[in-house]
Structure 1
């Protein structure tokens, strides 16, 4: 039999985690969720034998679990990851890795102590476009990436007002921390260099404007807290001399939702992009992957054709976690990379607060 997995959180992402784990030959034996009845409903829906209403009950009641997946609001990523590591389990956590870089350092220390793997669901790395591009980069076709631009911008994408997404104490921030995928993907392509200086600004002009509510997220909570940004812009320099500019938003005056990483290398440039027909709806999206080179005095743009992947790599990302535990594949990400990503995010918030560049 395959590796036995327990899942914490019965939310929407469970469908992808379950599909990925099963694709990799793992067996999902338990699900836990503190909301009364949520675990039982998920267990029935996904054919999971055991349902629990607390993590403690799951760890005690299903001791044969080797790995745990964490699908809960951001605030609980670190404490649950630490709890599961302490119990001797490998952990696959939803993004962001934690609320800030300090919490990621705690996760790194706990993972080393437990000698267990921790992976985060940076699912865009598992997209066919990203994997194809990474092969060109690793093969030396691109050369050194000098500069990159990461963008995940939405016109109307606020995920509910007053819920945990818009409450900084629960989420850690707004779109910058929620839609961190393209910043991560850009740094992944660049070789995950060490950040040195960051200049950033956040904007919250539309964060309480009902016109900018998105088609995804959670229901509004009357009387709830809304204290996060609706847009963030930043510029990052790295020890290597590489630079990254970023634009991330739930609500901004743009034409349409845009999800892309564009980069300029010493031998070639490139772009991985997802354009949505309707904001936030994956089945309306078109993915493209392109390389830009100079050949024989000509500007040549190559379109790279890869299989369609509506789930944005979410199933592949979960499958990679199982394969990494078994030693069948290299992990798609590491806690050390997660630390650098969170250092950049922390610094953008700090820079926005002080109005000054921040050194890391």
Structure 2
């Protein structure tokens, strides 16, 4: 069975989705974007036969579509996913799942009603290092992870000024919602415990300073820049586990760090990517380590995995297709996405009120 896919959104992430879908044996039938010229250009670039400036037209003209992928500003994730699910399509959606937990709950309900898969591009779960560490978590090597620290911190990583990334109405927030991957990965390794309380603070230092613009993102535009530059928080779970998080686009640090460090009852560990230049993959160094005590000695094990230039983006997309065909289990679920967004909502609420928030 060949899964037939339509791509909604002609942005840069489409290259990874399309590559992953093709690796899994899917056929890309169309690209749709409100900017029809962009859709046509992308379709030509990726060798896709059909381009649309209207999503309804794509659904009407290509009823054989099995699935869609959604690569648009965050505000539109929920509405487009629900539309596609109600049209009987499986949905793969870029992160974040939506701009808040309430919207994710609506998406989850629509998927359950339609009987279709709803998955999200939490691509860092699909990195070779993450596959390796999850296996250690599942086979008892690590034991129960009591606490973890999640970081995605940048020194100069603001993705443009006045575009949709920095517009709270369109993005839902700044780096906390944009760079949620390590928070998700930490919770994934901890087996997604149910959150109890969140305490956090956001900071707006440097958010208007163009010296802190990253080397990627979108051109400066005329919209607002009204999101945080950094967010720090602490989560307690009903299981007794804890998580600290530090996420930023602009902070006074030495270099960009993308990491999860954890402490288990049998072993600790770390998955890390360090960047020499913020946001440039070709300057990055990946590492994966386990920390154990053996015969009275402290032993640090380096876990060697194959190189992965795209941080699991294509592999994540391939898992979506293989989930539909029954070849693999899904790397993420709507329940997990909902729990993650409750944590993010909780941190923003805590920052606004100055108090811990019960989830």
Q: Smaller-chain TM-score range?
A: over 0.9
1:252 partnered with 2:248: no
Tell me whether 1:309 sits opposite 2:308 in the alignment. yes
Determine whether 1:205 maps to 2:205: yes
Q: Which residue of 1 aligns with 2:337?
A: 338
Instruction: State the partner residue of 1:323.
Output: 322
Matches within 5 A, 1:20-59: 20-59=20-59
Please name the residue that 2:168 is paired with.
168
Q: Partner of 2:134: helix, strand, or coil? A: helix
Q: Secondary structure at the match of 2:224?
A: coil
Q: Which runs of 5+ in 2 are unaligned?
A: none
For 1:316, what is the secondary structure of its paired residue?
helix
Question: Partner residue of 2:142?
Answer: 142
| Counterpart contact for 2:75–2:99, Cα < 8 Å | yes
* Cα drift, residue 321 of structure 1: 0.1
- State the shift of 1:127 in Å: 0.1
Take 2:146 and 2:289, find their aligned partners in 1: how far apart are those partners?
17
1:177-188 matches, cutoff 5 A? 177-188=177-188
Partner of 1:291: 290
Match of 1:275 in 2: 274
Give the Cα–Cα distance (whole angstroms) in 2 for the partners of residues 50 and 35 of structure 1. 14
Larger displacement relative to structure 2 (120-129 or 30-39): 30-39
SS at match of 1:273: strand
Paired with 1:210 and 1:46, the residues of 2 have a C-alpha distance of: 34
Unpaired runs of 5+ residues, structure 1, are: none
Q: RMSD between aligned alpha carbons?
A: 0.6
Offset at residue 36 of structure 1 (A): 3.3
**Secondary structure at the counterpart of residue 36 of structure 2:** coil
In the alignment, is the contact (CA less than 8 A) between 2:36 and 2:51 conserved in 1?
no
Distance 2:48 2:336 in 1: 32
Superposition deviation, residue 340 in structure 1: 0.5
TM norm structure 1: 0.99
Matched position secondary structure for 1:192: coil
* Separation (CA, whole Å) in 2 of partners of 1:234 and 1:307: 33
Distance 1:68 1:295 in 2: 49
**Given that residues 8 and 33 in structure 2 are in contact (C-alpha distance below 8 angstroms), is that contact kept between their aligned partners in structure 1?**
yes
Asked if residue 237 in structure 1 is aligned to residue 236 in structure 2, the reply is: yes
Is the 8 Å Cα contact of residues 36 and 52 (structure 2) preserved in structure 1?
no
Q: Conserved in 1, the CA contact under 8 Å of 2:148 and 2:243?
A: yes
| Equivalenced residues, count | 359
1:164, 1:236 → 2: CA distance?
28
Distance 1:252 1:125 in 2: 25
Matches within 5 A, 1:43-82: 43-82=43-82
How far apart are residue 205 of structure 1 and its match? 1.5
Partner SS for 1:37: helix
